[in-house]
Structure 1
């Protein structure tokens, strides 16, 4: 799950926990590292900034305990990819396993123990972005600010959410052909709205419109794409779903997503095939996967896939084996 994201942004690979910790202290945020047992050089760290979000992939390669005073004005969205991570709060404890995720609130103290094989993806979200999204789509923010419950969510049960997370990390890649002004903010906004809808908080309903007619129209189109990603979708079909003209649909995609319907569909399909090749044992060859997602020009598909993920689809499949 999301195992190859941020490969373009590796800072350390096969390093010691102390080297990774020193870099995090200097460039990310202050914390204290406690090491259990002899130090082994298996740690890695990848960092990338994307539209005011700080994205990271981290593994210490050793059993360690990480603590810091508080998160100040930052939310942390953390996904355990391998191993397990033990969270300690003042009033409770929990252990997260692969595929599980947690939202941490500003002001909360961090006290975590990583297993030796633990790897996590972390997205740091400034409080102002969460507040802005609430105001934009609900019209108000609770007086206490948005507070997420201390409840883990198993993201393996939500392919649509994983698709959203993967698209954000994909967009942050230097290889992304879609990485231009405007689209990054749209992906950030989409991720934050998904987080607000997925993780329980003191908000009652973030999908409450205040949404404009155009926003509701775009939601219908994007939901239709997600639900029918394997089909040979056409722009005419999307326009029919939206109840608008093809010309207006292109205009909406350009103004709101800074892309075209066809390009967005291709990006979502590539992300879906990437997951299938890595995780689905029923997929036996690349041609089968490509045809399953309506890619009929296999040479062009392989070229687009390599641009997105830095390797041929056959190489992704071989790694799974």
Structure 2
């Protein structure tokens, strides 16, 4: 069965149109401004029908892009960003770092900014593209490792989506795209959820796809001591309503990010972000259940650190099996 239809990937980023065109020059210009200047040529006898949907944050962008007919794309060096390309339909041939990768439903590609690329997207090829700023990814890598990088991060270009790491990466990226499609991410002024998501996407690339720094990341996989973990938990509880980030927690606990993640997974079966979310939800439920000095659902959500009321309601229902208004009771 086709993966696109099975998982609904064909609807990702719908409602966020950037371009609809059959004009080659317009396609080259608009797509080039979203990514980088490139050569774009339509195959002989092919018909161009570009559909490009797009959302962007501070350090990343998500794109659903298809050209309709077969096209040759030559961006040269990407320069300032990494680009994960996940085929949603069709196939493409990618030449990068001296390798040739046939991208399809089971194989994505990850392009490095300082290596030349040439691509052939077959007719009907459509991809979900994650663009991550080079400076952002390198900063996240340094914070995870706890030391300056010895040089540029370079990933293996072929991403096997059938293996556990590739499947996790696929879920992480499509999950972010689905949230953006629902209007839960990058729908307005960026908030804490967008900051966390952009960092998590960079971390996912670094931890799930082999690179020249993988050995440095695994070398830092030391579980935190009990006092370090206790400091992290205390910091979360002391700052529930503040816009804290995962690196704030790690810094306070005296840990690198990888060790913090491993410690929370081992102790609670959750990431630090999930732990913070659940504690905030518990506080919100307590406040909504009070029979005196009752507050509105929206006031409770904001004061418990949630910046998106729809996402708060969804997470509350998933955790407690009821809507916030049910816990709140009749006025």
TM-score, normalization: structure 2?
0.64
- Which structure carries more relative contact order (alpha carbon 8 Å, separation 6+)? 1
Check if 1:6 corresponds to 2:16.
no
Stretch of structure 1 that moved more, 161-170 or 143-152: 161-170
Larger Rg: 2
Distance in 2 (CA, whole Å) between partners of 1:154 and 1:268 is 31
SS in 1 for 2:202: helix
Distance in 1 (CA, whole Å) between partners of 2:303 and 2:269 is 19
Change (3 A) 1:90 1:164: closer
2:49 to 39, 42, 45: 42
Change (3 A) 1:220 1:90: closer
User: What's the CA shift for 1:153?
Assistant: 2.0
Q: For structure 1, list consecutive stretches of 5 or more residues without a partner in the other structure.
A: 226-234, 240-244, 271-292, 301-321
Change (3 A) 1:102 1:141: farther
Match of 2:243? none
Q: For structure 2, list consecutive stretches of 5 or more residues without a partner in the other structure.
A: 233-259, 272-276, 287-300, 327-331
Distance in 1 (CA, whole Å) between partners of 2:98 and 2:270 is 42
The answer as to whether partners of 2:94 and 2:118 remain within 8 angstroms in 1 is yes
The answer as to whether partners of 2:156 and 2:209 remain within 8 angstroms in 1 is yes
Change (3 A) 1:128 1:295: same
Distance in 2 (CA, whole Å) between partners of 1:190 and 1:26 is 25
The answer as to whether partners of 2:180 and 2:186 remain within 8 angstroms in 1 is no
- State how 1:195-210 maps to structure 2 within 5 Å: 195-203=205-213, 204=215, 205=217, 208=221
Please give the per-residue CA displacement for 1:220-258, whole angstroms capped at 9, x wherever unaligned: 588559xxxxxxxxx9xx67xxxxx9559x9xx999985
TM-score, normalization: structure 1?
0.65
2:75 to 35, 44, 68: 68
Match of 1:169? 177
1:140 to 125, 147, 150: 147
The answer as to whether partners of 1:83 and 1:115 remain within 8 angstroms in 2 is yes
Distance in 2 (CA, whole Å) between partners of 1:218 and 1:257 is 20
Check if 1:129 corresponds to 2:147.
no
Match of 2:85? 78
SS in 2 for 1:113: strand
